[in-house]
Structure 1
Amino acid sequence: MSDTPFGFGLPPEEPEDGDEGKKKDQQSGGGQDPSNPFGFGLPGGFGGPGGDNPLAAMFGSLNPTDLGAAFQQLGQMLSYEGGPVNWDMAKQIARQTVSQGTADGVKDASVGPAERNAVQEAVRLADLWLDDVTSLPSGAGTAVAWSRAEWVEATLPAWQELVDPVAERVGTAMGDVLPEEMQAMAGPLIGMMRSMGGAMFGTQIGQAVGVLAGEVVGSTDIGLPLSPAGKAALLPVNIETFGKDLGVPKEEVRLYLALREAAHQRLFAHVPWLRSHLYGAVDGYARGIKVDTAKLEDVVGQFDPQNPEQLQDALQQGMFQPEDTPEQKAALARLETALALVEGWVDAVVHAAAKPRLGSADALRETLRRRRASGGPAEQTFATLIGLELRPRRLRDASRLWASLTDARGIDGRDALWSHPDMLPTASDLDDPDGFVHREQLDFSELDKMLGEAADKPDLRKKDDDKGDDAE
């Protein structure tokens, strides 16, 4: 460890005349680079001046006389004192990203009355068609047409629930990269580093949400319930872009996308455990992600507050690694299977409703399958930032299984599987759909009924009372 506390340079000596004085001043740490007045971002990081002392790498040439000014500047920049992600900043950045428009030059715009009416009519008609192909009733209490900015505002609470657990791990890791003997002395710095992480995570998440707002066509594109319950939402400006080069009438494109949105809403509204099941799968996977502390040490050691983009770039390159353990593999399989089952059911049900009525049903189905399988730039950004891909890798397998279940058990028998999570197909069932389709299923509703009837039998209650009397 450096002999100088916290690795700060010694006070500058009185200036001397000639080259010797200049050399001595530079060697003592008194000379400051005018382009870097606070001495941050020295080359070498953790391997540079200060050895294993990360504070020396950050503050190695800082004059004590400038210490107050340096911390004042940092305090102003890192004044956030909330959770692991600065969500106020995330919303601001997302709105700014939306206002800039997409790469193809399409700008966001307020939704007019005609577009709003068209979306409401499409969702209403979609619900009528879905009534013929599923036993789950309508889940869309209202149908809304959103601008991109409105999508950002409405979905940020769901993103917070998804991202915060992983971001919390980064905030903790930022303190853990300091040597143990330094942590007690560096309490304020640890707090600033965590605030810095919250600010930078907010910036990156905001950018990703803003870009995603330019890609999505509804509130359920990623297979998770992002919008408020019972609210089906479509984005007219993005639907226009999506259907631009498909050669399909825009009314058919809108109606097909309304079918998908309305089908998702039926699942999320009438399968009460599904939301917690999906978010629990995400959380279970996130708990097994570890932070690349070596990369984080480099980021902390070379951080320059005059160049915050440096940390943003590091976060964007990713510092999360799934742990190669049986538990983590099981969590990943559970998450991928859950996403595939939701998307597969929606795919099968929507195709059954659209195929007899829309000539473009097959083409639109294949386009959306490929779109979900590949993921857009924003989804890839989230995968890098939080180590998580929200793509249903086995969508086609799941869709085939749901279609086979419809043929073998009918609509009611297929949809009855959503009554309990233990009745759903597993990852191995997707490998052998025929085996699952023809397997005997335990009817949990009948079991509950039997248990209820047994509890109400008078002779059983009498026996319980007699046992109580004997005990006395």
Structure 2
Amino acid sequence: MADGEDRSPEDEFQELMRQLFGGQAGAIDPEQLSRLSGMGIDPAMMQQVMQHLQGAFTNAPAEGVSWDLAKRQALHIANQDGLGITTGERADLGEAFSLAALWLSEATTVPELTQPPRTLTRGGWVEATLPVWQELAEPVALSIADALTAALDQQVPEEMRAMVQGAGRLMRTVGGSLFAAQLGAVVGRLSTEVVSGGDVGLPVMPAGDAAILPQNFADFGRDLGIADDQLALYLATRELAHARLFRHAKWLRLHVMSQVTEFARGIHVDTEALEDLASRFDPSQPDELRRALESGVLLPQRSEAQTAALARLENLLALIEGWVDVVTETATTRLPDAFRITEVVRRRRAVGGPAEQALGSLVGLEVRPRRLREAAAMWRAVTDAVGMSARDALWDYPDLMPGSEDIDDPAALVARLQARARGDEAPRDEMDAALEALLDEAAADAAIDVADEARDAATGAADDEQPDDEQPDDGPAGPRPV
């Protein structure tokens, strides 16, 4: 009897798993796979799955997430059209950036960039921004990988435990790789939507780096009925304002990313949802996994801490975008269609594209500032009251930044800034009164302590001056006996 003829399909499958986890996947032959038909498994599909798994195992990174896979997937999508940047596009956008820099210098005191702006292909944008997307997505990727490892440990039958013992790290790699591939797909699709480096609000470009994607710029202006030169000038001004701000306020990038990290710290995967998906997952139908990842079904409802962190991040992004809006609006008053372009950009920022919505579901983070119009109104009020120099000075230090209460009520912020400009004492509020009361109480306590110390010191000095053989006498003084 030929070898293997007396074995059941289940035995064949277990033998395949032994070879895979034992590093012998290269020894699997098509005839062995064909005998799996008794289990209802397509041998061709199974061979492809095994090859993918073997590649993942062979190139498994130490941290369990193959970010190179994400990069390859993103670049594959970004470079599908094969289009580059023509000399004419580069020249036109270069002229737009040059004129925009002059206009912007009249609208803000934030200094110019030290390096020239760039025109990027979609693939170039992926290369430049992927490290930030990796930083955003890593907590979720590791959480999914850990959940798959736990599910493997809990659900593998007892008779197969010895076979898959030690495979936990490999399964963690598979989970991380699945997520990395999905992230790469989302970032690749996002590269077909963004028009500039600062288009998504987050500081995804290196500090002080401004760029426009000519391929997407052409799509952005299509059917708007606005001249390309006006669109280029407006978008170049906006991109330069965004890049200037992050280069000038060197603390701002870290401040934004720390808010993102604080939000991501509470991310975990819904294990029950993951197990349910795994129980009915068909490797020949990967779309189900893709839809599950993009729908956010694996991420449970946000905790209170996450909700608070997200609110702080949204306020910060609104302050940044609101300032960029106001500065761009001032700098582009010479453009006849500036108001129309502003409304188009605002609507686009409010809605977002399909890829950005998928990114929000994938990592649980929405990067659209909900309070953009309120923040812009606050910056306009500040500009009208104290001028652009005092307005821009608020970006010098984190402690000077307006807060969410200033977005709600700009009048109090304006009053403080006007008082500071006059050299007057700032208007007092309840917090000032409470602080003064605490300081007065502390000063009174300190005065009492000083008085006690002085009294103790005086008493000690008097004791030191009294002779040792002299005893206190309560009666009237008289001659001492000889």
Could you tell me the TM-score, scaled by structure 2's length?
0.73
Q: Is the partner of 2:210 in helix, strand or coil?
A: strand
In structure 2, the residue matched to 1:400 is 377
Query: Which of 35, 42, 47 is the matching residue for 2:41?
Result: 35
Q: SS of the residue aligned with 2:84?
A: coil
Q: Would you say 1:384 and 2:374 are equivalent positions?
A: no
Q: Measure, in 2, the Cα distance between the counterparts of 1:282 and 1:71.
A: 37
Tell me which amino acid in the other structure corresponds to 2:250. P
Task: Report the CA distance between 1:88 and its aligned residue.
Answer: 1.7
Aligned to 2:216: 238
Deviation (angstroms), 1:180: 6.3
| CA distance in 2 between partners of 1:341 and 1:34 (Å) | 57
Number of the residue aligned with 2:85: 111
- Counterpart residue number, 1:3: none
8 A Cα contact 1:404 1:437, kept in partner: yes
Distance 1:298 1:140, change over 3 A: farther
The within-5 A match list for 1:300-449 is: 300-318=278-296, 319-325=298-304, 327-355=305-333, 357-439=334-416
Is the 2:193–2:353 contact (alpha carbons within 8 Å) kept by the matching residues of 1?
yes
Shift, 1:295, TM fit: 1.0
The code of the aligned residue for 1:293 comes to T
Kept in 2, the 8 Å contact 1:140–1:231? The answer is no
Q: Which residue of 201, 210, 221 maps to 2:188?
A: 210
Write the deviation string for residues 25-61 of structure 1: whole angstroms up to 9, x where unpaired.
Answer: xxxxx99324356999xxxxxxxxxxxxxxxxxxxxx
Which amino acid counterpart does residue 302 of structure 2 have in structure 1? E
Instruction: Map 1:18-29 to 2 at 5 A.
Output: none
> How many residues align structurally?
385
Task: Provide the secondary structure at the position in 2 that maps to 1:231.
Answer: coil
Q: Which residue in 1 is equivalent to 2:272?
A: 294
**C-alpha displacement at 1:428, in angstroms?**
2.6
Distance 1:124 1:426, change over 3 A: same
What value does the CA root-mean-square deviation take over the aligned residues? Answer: 3.1
Deviation digits for residues 95-148 of structure 1 (CA, Å, limit 9, x no counterpart): 222244xxxxxx452112221122222112111111111111012511211111
- In 2, are the aligned partners of 1:166 and 1:287 still within 8 Å (CA)? no
- Deviation per CA, 1:233-252, whole angstroms, max 9, x where unpaired? 11112111111111111000
Note the alpha carbon deviations across 1:257-277, whole angstroms, 9 max, x for none. Answer: 000110011111010101101
Contact 1:212-1:379 within 8 A present in 2 as well: yes
CA distance in 2, matches of 1:352, 1:305: 55
Which of 263, 270, 280 matches 1:285? 263
**Aligned match for 2:140, one of 148, 166, 172:** 166
1:156 is aligned to 2:136: no
**Which structure 2 segments of 5+ residues have no match?**
1-7, 13-35, 424-482
Q: Cα gap change, 1:108/1:369 in structure 2, threshold over 3 Å: closer, same or farther?
A: farther
Cα offsets for 1:290-339 (capped at 9, x unmatched): 311111112333444455444333222321134332x2222011110111
Cα distance in 2 for partners of 1:134, 1:219 equals 20
1:221 equivalent to 2:199? Answer yes
Q: d(CA) in 1 for partners of 2:337 and 2:414?
A: 30
Amino acid at match of 2:230: E
Bigger shift: residues 111-120 or 174-183: 174-183
Give 1:163's aligned amino acid. A
User: 1:194 is matched with which residue?
Assistant: 172
Q: In the TM superposition, what is the alpha-carbon distance from 1:75 to its structure 2 partner?
A: 2.9
Listed as ranges, the gaps of 5+ residues in structure 1 are 1-7, 13-29, 41-65, 101-106, 447-472
TM-score with structure 1 setting the length: 0.74
| Partner-residue secondary structure (3-state), 2:300 | strand
Q: Which amino acid aligns with 1:201?
A: F
Deviation digits for residues 65-109 of structure 1 (CA, Å, limit 9, x no counterpart): x9xx99787334544422454222222222222244xxxxxx452
Say if 2:145 is the partner of 1:145.
no
Identity of aligned residues (%): 43
2:244 and 2:277 mapped to 1: Cα distance?
Answer: 45
Q: Which whole-Å CA distance do the structure 2 matches of 1:72 and 1:242 have between them?
A: 41
